[in-house]
Structure 1
Amino acid sequence: MLMLLKKRSTIISLILAVIFAASSYYYFAIYNSVRDLYVSSDYIGYPTGKALFSNAELVVVGSPLKDFEDRELHLSRFSNGALEDIATFTEIDVEKVIKGPEEDTTNLKVYEPIGVYQTFKGKERIAFEGYTAMKKGSKYLIFLSKNTYGQYSVINMQSGKFNMDGTDHEDMGEDSHNKQRIFAELKSSEYLQ
């Protein structure tokens, strides 16, 4: 009888150890993993600094107040459950208004075309046109216009924000040559003076 109880206790301990190991593996290796998905989007692109500046309603220099994970996520789905739209609202500490109404910069929340949401298979980061999120503590020159909901959105996708202090190494993105050209044009123009 004592032998049977020891055997049963050993089997239960092994089963619990396997369940714990499997749960830990799922949580750390799958549930918390991040899969990047890049989605194409219809947007108006501005190939020059002049066109970008002219078509922006608001141009500011500022920094995000929160880490990306702590920002407000906008997620909407179609009636069949498929993802319709995803974005992140980023609160900006505005240092300087270059163009546009200064009163709009109080408590400015910028609609960024990127978002992360949790699934059973892990986190999915969806970015439109290779957009990378602005980083807390980094300083940016940001070109904005109001979207159909009246929210300020980054225009020109990845080439609508420029890291000014060199602290965001992802900012140049895939089309870094074009973005560098636009930024150089803006820096040498009267727009940023």
Structure 2
Amino acid sequence: MNLKMNRLYMKIAIGIMLTAIVFVCAAFSTFSQKNEPMETISLEALYITYESAEELDEADLILIGTPTSDFSDREHKTSYYADGSLQDFYTLTEIEVDKIIKSPNDFDLKESETLSIIEPVGMIELDGTKKITIDEYKEMEKGEKYIIFLNDNGYGQYSVINNDLGKFNLDSKSAKSEKSLSKNSAITLKEDVLEKYSEFIE
């Protein structure tokens, strides 16, 4: 009797251990896939460029804020032509607003509230999931604080202007510390922005 019971308990213990191993392996696999660098496709596009903080100050909306979610968890939008070719793409990034530096008269949002903004980057299914971006635009990172320059797109939403040089990471205030600032002109622009808006930046 005791022998049978011991065997039963052993089978149950083995079953529990196998279930736990499968669960851990699945969780690790999901974690690895989420943190694995995504293949990126960069497309060229025409857009208005701004070369100084004074020019960026023409933006409809200027704010300091922080993305609230990882890139993969954001809302990615794509549209296609009738023949199946890609027409448009973007990502809606939820920003927790820390400070509003400039806004339209009818802009109704308080500090500490969230705003969904448009970034020129997205995700598509093309032989697997891939990131697609305009001129190597780098999406804003969750938990990092940025000063962001945006224009109304005419449909009640706000889009980052000047591509990668329409937002600047304030958690790395040294202009030379950002990978996206590879040119001297870009470094100079960030330094110009930090100086112009220094009273708003802690």
Instruction: Provide TM-score, normalisation by structure 1.
Output: 0.74
Q: Paired residue for 1:89?
A: 92
- Which amino acid is 2:41 matched to? L
Q: Paired residue for 1:66?
A: 69
Q: Paired residue for 1:48?
A: 52
- The answer for unaligned runs of 5 or more in structure 1 is 1-27
User: Do the aligned residues in 2 keep the contact of 1:130 with 1:174 (CA within 8 Å)?
Assistant: no
Is 1:103–2:108 an aligned residue pair?
yes
How many angstroms does 1:179 deviate by?
A: 2.1
How many angstroms does 1:175 deviate by?
A: 4.1
Instruction: Find the partner of 1:157 among 139, 145, 163.
Output: 163
Q: Paired residue for 1:115?
A: 122
Is 1:188–2:198 an aligned residue pair?
no
Instruction: Spell out, residue by residue over 1:27-49, the C-alpha distance to the aligned partner (whole angstroms, 9 max, x if none).
Output: x99xx883211111111000111
User: Do the aligned residues in 1 keep the contact of 2:63 with 2:147 (CA within 8 Å)?
Assistant: yes
Measured in 2, the distance between the counterparts of 1:174 and 1:81 equals: 35
User: Do the aligned residues in 2 keep the contact of 1:98 with 1:192 (CA within 8 Å)?
Assistant: no
SS of structure 2 residue aligned to 1:56: coil
How many aligned positions are there? 160
How many angstroms does 1:140 deviate by?
A: 0.3
SS of structure 2 residue aligned to 1:108: strand
Measured in 2, the distance between the counterparts of 1:41 and 1:171 equals: 23
User: Do the aligned residues in 2 keep the contact of 1:73 with 1:89 (CA within 8 Å)?
Assistant: yes
How many angstroms does 1:159 deviate by?
A: 0.3
- Which amino acid is 1:39 matched to? L
Q: Which runs of 4 or more aligned residues in structure 1 lie more than 6 Å from their structure 2 counterparts after TM superposition? A: none
- Which amino acid is 1:40 matched to? E
- The answer for unaligned runs of 5 or more in structure 2 is 1-31
Q: Tell me: CA distance 1:68–1:33, structure 2 relative to 1, closer, same or farther (3 Å).
A: closer
SS of structure 1 residue aligned to 2:114: coil
Instruction: Find the partner of 1:136 among 136, 142, 153.
Output: 142
| Cα RMSD after superposing both structures | 2.5
